[in-house]
A and B are shown apart, each in its own frame.
Chain A
Amino acid sequence: MTSWPPLLVLFVLTPLVGAVLTPAVSDASGRRSWEWALGTMLLTSAMAGALIMRVLDEGPFSYVVGGWVAPYGIELRFDEFSAFVAVVCLLGLLAVIFSRHYARDALAPGRIPYYYTLLLLNMTGMIGFIVTGDLFNLYVFMEILSLSAYALVAISGEKTAEMAAFKYLVMGAVSSLSILFGVGLLYALTGSLNMADVTGRLAGSAEAPLVLAFAALTLGFMVKSALFPLHIWLPDAHAIAPSPVSAVLSGLVVKVGILGMLRVYQIAYGSGAIDLSGLNLMLTWLGAISIVMGAFFAVFQDDIKMMLAYSTISNIGYIVMGLGLASPYSLIGASVHVFNHALIKATLFLGAGALIHQTGRRTLTGLAGVGRSMPLTTAAVSIGAISIVGIPPTAGFLCKWYIALGAMQAGEPLFAVALVFGALLIFVYYIRMVNAFYFRKPQEAGAPAVHEAPATMLVPVLILAALCLVMGVLGRLPLSFIEPAVTRLLAPLGGG
C-alpha cells in the first residue's frame, strides 16, 4: 500500500474534493459539515503517514502524472522536506476539531460550511505546494493557499477583520506576482517548468536574468513568510483571524515562504549556475533583524494574540537566519524549526483561543489570574511559551541550538549573539504572559465564574503541548530525519 504510486495524487485530491463537497453535505446547524471536514482530514492524515513511511524506507520518490515525463507532464515529488505534510495534516486535523464549538460561537451559522471549505482548501494548497515537482503548479497551489487564507482572515465579517484581510491581500498579491514573474523568467531561460529539469538546464544561462529570477522568487517568498521589513501584514491578520485559523496561518501558511525558499535553494545549489552568497548574507542579516524586531514589538503588546503574532516574526527570523548561514548545522536547525515552530505556535494560538473563548478577554490585563480557573489550558500555553523561548527539554531548544552552532560553524559568532539575545527578549515577554496568568490578581471582582473549555477545544491544546515536550526529548529523531536532505542540498557546494 505504502508504495502504491497514485497515492501521491490522491493525497492532493482528497482534501480538494472534500472541500468542494462540504457545503453540499452540510445541514443547518453546521454539525454535518464539521463531521465531513473531520473525516476528510483523518483520511488525508492517514495518507500522509503512509507517504512518510515510504520516504523513510526508500528516500525521495516521485510520481509522473499520466506517464507524461518532464518537461511536458506534471510531476509530484516527495522528499524529506515534504514530510512537513505530517505537521500540516496534524494541525489541520486539530484545527478542525477545535473549531467545532469555536466556529459555532464565533461565526454566523450560514458561514460555517464555507469556513470548513476554506480550511480544507487551505490544506489542499499547502499539501499541493509541498509535494509538487513543478514550478507552475507550485504557483497555482500557492494561490489556492493564499486566497483561502485571505478569506479565512475575513470570515468573521467584522470591519477590523476585513481591513486586516485586505492588507494581507494587497501584500500577498504583490508577492504572488513577484513569484510568478520569477517562475516565468526561469521558464524563458530553460523552456521547462519541472524543478529537477530546470536545475539540469540552468547551467550556462545568462547571469542577469538569472539573478533577477531568483531575486523575484526570494522577494515573493519573503513576503509570504513575513520577514522583516515585509512583515507589516502579519500581526493584524494573525491576531484578528479566528484562533484555529491563526494557528494554521502562523504555524503553516507562513512556512510556505520558507519551503518555497528551500525549493529555490535546491534549484540554485543544484544547478551551480548562480552564486547565492550575497543573497545568503542579506537573509542572515534580515533574519537577525527580524528576531530582534519581532521580539522588541512583542514586548509592548498587551493583546495576547498580537504578542503571538509578533513572536511568529521572530521565529521566522530564526529560520531565515539558519537558511542564510548555509552551514549544515544551521540548515538542519532551520528545517526542523519549520516543523517544531508549527507545533509550538499552534499550541499557543489554540490555547489562547480557548482562553479568549472562555473568558471573553484577550489582553494580558484582562486575563490576569486565569491560571486558577483554567489550570490545564494555562499549563499547556506555558509549556508552549517555554518551548518557543527554546528552553530545554522542549521542542524549541534543539533547533535554536543547532542554528547557533551553525553560526559558529560558519565562522559568524556574531549571529549566535543575536540569536541568544533575541531569545532573551522573547523570554521576557513570555514571562510577562505566564506571570499574568498565575501571579496577577483578577482585575475585577465578581467576574463570571470561568471554567475549562469543552473537550473539543481542550484536547487539541493538550495534545499539542504534549508534543512540544515529546519533540524536545526525542529531538534527535527529526534532526536525523532531515539530515540526508540537507546533506544532499549542500553537496553541490562541496565540503559541507
Chain B
Amino acid sequence: MEVVDARVALAPAISLLCGALVFAAADNTFWRRFWSVSAALAKLGIVMSMLPGSLRGVVYTFDLVEFTPGVGLAFRADALGMFFSVVSSTLWLFTTVYAIGYMEREPNRRRFFGFFALCVSTTVGVAFAENLLTMFLFYETLTICTYPLVIHDETPEAMRAGRTYLVYTLTGGAFVLLGSIWTYQLAGTMTLSQPGILSMEAGRTTLTALFVCLIAGFGVKAAIMPLHGWLPTAMVAPTPVSALLHAVAVVKVGAFGVLRTIYNVFGVELLRELGVCDWLAALAAVTIVTASIIAIFQDNFKRRLAFSTISQLSYIVLGAALLSPLAATAAIVHIANQAFAKITMFFVAGSIQRTTGKTTIHELAGIGYRMPYTMGAFTVAALSFIGIPLFAGFVTKWYLSLGALESDRWIYALVMLGSALLNAAYWLPIVYTAFFKAPHEEVVVQEAHWTMLGPTLACAAYVLLLGMTVSVPGMPFALAQAAVTFVFGM
C-alpha cells in the first residue's frame, strides 16, 4: 500500500535545517552541540515514526518536484530504504555524541559539525530516493559534504587524501549520472520502485555496458577492488569521520547503490539472463580475500580497519550478486551488521588515540588492563567479524553461505570460510596483545570520557543483540525479508 506522506521528505530536510543552524550558531559551543544532537535526534524520530507503518507493509512516498514527466526529485520509503535509513540514523546519533567528545579541543568545529549534520541529511536522501536522479543528487552532495571532514586537519597529507577522495568519488558520481541518463533513455523512467525497469530488448551489449557504468559508479564508494584506492588514504581524517565514512554513510551509500542497481534498475530476472553478475560475484570474492590479506600486514590500527572495511563491504556486493533470496537477505542485513561492528572498532581506535595517543597495534600491549570496557567492546566486534555464532556477523555468513549453496556456487561458501579464518588472523592478535601481553608502563584504569565510551558500548551491545535475536527493536530483520520478497517476486 502506498501512502503520500511528507515525512519521507522531511527526514532529509530537517537535518539540512539543523546543519544550517549549526553554521549559524557560529562559535557558540552550546548551540552547536544542541543543533548537532537535534539533527540526529529529529531524523531518528521521524524515521522511527514511519517504522511501524513500514513493518505493516506501507510504503510512504512524496514527490518533491517534477521537471518533465519521469524526471524529477521524489522520495519513497520502501522496505530496503527504510532498513538503510534506520541503520544510518541510529548510528548517527551515536557518532554525533562521540564526535562531540572527540572533537572537544579541535579547531574549526563549526565547519566540522555543520557538514557532519549535512551528511545525515544526504544519507537519508539516498536511502529514500525514489529515482536514480534523486539518488545521484544526494550521492554527490554526500561527497561534497564529507570532503571538508576528510581534510579537517588541513595538513599536506590530509589535503592530498582529500584530493584523492574527490577524484575517485566525483568520477564515480559522473558514471552514476551517465548511467542514469542512459537508463532513462532505454527505459523511459528512472524509478527505483519496481523490481527492475530494463528489459532485454535494449540488447545484450548495451545492457552490459550500462551495468558496468552503474556498478563502477557506485562501486567507487563501495570500495570494490580496484576502485578502493581512496579509502585507506582517507584515514587521515579525525576518527569520527573515519567511522562515518567507513561504517555509516559513504561506503554504505555505495553498497546501497549497488543493491538498487541490481534489484531495482535491472532486476533479478534480467541479470540472470545477462550473466554479468557472475563476474561481479567473482570480483567481490577477490576483494574479500585480497583486502583481508593486506589487512594482516597493517600495523597502523586505522589502516587495518580500513582494509577490513573493504573486505566486509564486498560481502554485501557478493550477497547481492549471487541473485538468490537467501544471499540477498545476507546482503541487506550485513548493512546493519557490518555497520555496528565496524563503528564499534573505530570508536575504540579513536578512544585509544585520544586517551593514550597510541595509533599502532604493537603499542597496544596490555591496553586491555588500562581500558577494559573499551577493549571489551572491541573483542565483541572482532568476534562478530570472525562470524562466531551469537554475534551479528554470524547471521550474515550463515545466510550468505546458504545463498551460495542455494545458487549452486559452493565456492563462495568456501570464500566465507576462508574469510572467517583471515578475520581471525587479523583481529585476534589485537585482542591477544591487549589482554595477554605485559603492558609497557604502569597500569592505571583510564577510560575515555563518557561521551566516547557510551556510544562505544551501545554499539557493541547492538552487535550482540543483532546476533542473538536477529530482530532487535528498531533493527528490523522483517524489513530485510520484506525487501527480498519484493525484489524476487515471491
Q: Which A positions have Cβ atoms within 8 angstroms of B?
A: 391-393, 397-398, 401, 404-405, 408-409, 413, 416-417, 420-421, 423-424, 427-428, 431, 439, 472-473, 475-476, 479
Contacts and interface: CB of A to CB of B under 8 A. Distances in A.
Given A398-B68, A420-B174, A427-B170, A392 B181 contact: no
A416 B186 CA distance: 14
A358 to B, nearest CB: 22
A401 B180 CA distance: 10
The 6 closest A-B pairs by CB, nearest first: A408-B185, A404-B181, A475-B67, A424-B174, A420-B174, A420-B178
A479 B68 contact: yes
Contacts of A421: 174
Interface string B174-206: 100110011011000000000000000000000
Given A401-B71, A476-B67, A391 B181 contact: no
A218 B123 CA distance: 48
A417 B65 contact: no
Contacts of B181: 401, 404-405, 408, 416, 420
30 contacts: A391-B137, A391-B140, A392-B73, A392-B133, A393-B67, A398-B71, A401-B67, A401-B181, A404-B181, A405-B181, A405-B185, A408-B181, A408-B185, A409-B185, A416-B178, A416-B181, A416-B182, A417-B178, A420-B174, A420-B178, A420-B181, A421-B174, A424-B171, A431-B144, A439-B111, A473-B65, A475-B68, A476-B66, A476-B67, A476-B68
Contacts of B185: 405, 408-409
A393 B73 contact: yes
B376 interface: no
Contacts of A397: 67
A408 B111 CA distance: 41
Contacts of B182: 408, 413, 416
Contacts of A439: 111, 148
Interface of B: 65-68, 71, 73, 111, 133, 137, 140, 144, 148, 166, 170-171, 173-174, 177-178, 181-182, 184-185
A483 B412 CA distance: 54
A397 B185 CA distance: 16
B174 A392 contact: no
A408 B177 CA distance: 13
Contacts of B166: 428
Contacts of A404: 181
A136 B442 CA distance: 95
Contacts, number: 55
Given A392-B73, A408-B182, A476-B68, A428 B137 contact: no
A477 B184 CA distance: 20
Nearest to B178: A420
A398 B68 CA distance: 9
B67 A392 contact: yes
Contacts of B71: 398, 401
Q: Which of B71, B133, B182 is the most central at the interface, judged by chain A CB atoms within 10 Å of its CB?
A: B71
Given A408-B182, A421-B174, A431-B144, 12 more contacts: A392-B133, A393-B65, A398-B68, A398-B71, A404-B181, A405-B181, A408-B181, A423-B177, A424-B171, A427-B170, A439-B111, A475-B68
Q: Which of A398, A472, A473 is the most central at the interface, judged by chain B CB atoms within 10 Å of its CB?
A: A473
A393 B64 CA distance: 10
B237 to A, nearest CB: 16
Contacts of B177: 420, 423
A393 B111 CA distance: 25
Nearest to B141: A391
B260 to A, nearest CB: 18
A397 B181 CA distance: 12
Q: Which of B133, B170, B181, B185 is the most central at the interface, judged by chain A CB atoms within 10 Å of its CB?
A: B181
A393 B138 CA distance: 12
Contacts of A408: 181-182, 185
Nearest to B136: A392
B184 A405 contact: yes
Contacts of A420: 174, 177-178, 181
B128 to A, nearest CB: 16
A464 to B, nearest CB: 20
A439 B66 CA distance: 33
A428 B170 contact: yes
Contacts of B173: 424
Nearest to A406: B185
A394 to B, nearest CB: 11
A416 B73 CA distance: 21
Given A393-B73, A428-B170, A398 B178 contact: no
A392 B72 CA distance: 9
A421 B184 CA distance: 18
Contacts of B133: 392
B84 to A, nearest CB: 22
Nearest to A431: B144
A465 to B, nearest CB: 17
Contacts of A424: 170-171, 173-174
A300 to B, nearest CB: 15
Nearest to A393: B65
Contacts of B178: 416-417, 420
A392 B184 contact: no
Contacts of A391: 137, 140
Contacts of A416: 178, 181-182
A404 B179 CA distance: 11
A413 B148 CA distance: 34
Contacts of A476: 66-68
A185 B208 CA distance: 51
Contacts of A392: 67, 73, 133, 137
Nearest to B69: A476
Nearest to A480: B68
A260 to B, nearest CB: 28
B476 to A, nearest CB: 32
A401 B71 CA distance: 10
B150 to A, nearest CB: 14
A417 B133 CA distance: 17
Nearest to B206: A413
A479 B71 CA distance: 13
B456 to A, nearest CB: 31
B188 to A, nearest CB: 11
A287 to B, nearest CB: 17
Contacts of B140: 391
Contacts of B148: 439
Contacts of B170: 424, 427-428
Contacts of B65: 393, 473
A439 B108 CA distance: 10
Nearest to A372: B26
Nearest to A421: B174
Contacts of B111: 439
A475 B73 CA distance: 13
Nearest to A389: B140
A391 B67 CA distance: 13
A404 B174 CA distance: 13
Nearest to A407: B181
B387 to A, nearest CB: 40
B276 to A, nearest CB: 18
B121 to A, nearest CB: 15
A397 B148 CA distance: 25
Contacts of A409: 185
A310 to B, nearest CB: 19
A28 B171 CA distance: 57
A444 B67 CA distance: 45
A401 B173 CA distance: 15
Contacts of B171: 424
Nearest to A408: B185
A413 B178 CA distance: 9
A398 B70 CA distance: 12
Nearest to A391: B137
B183 to A, nearest CB: 10
Contacts of B174: 420-421, 423-424
A333 to B, nearest CB: 11
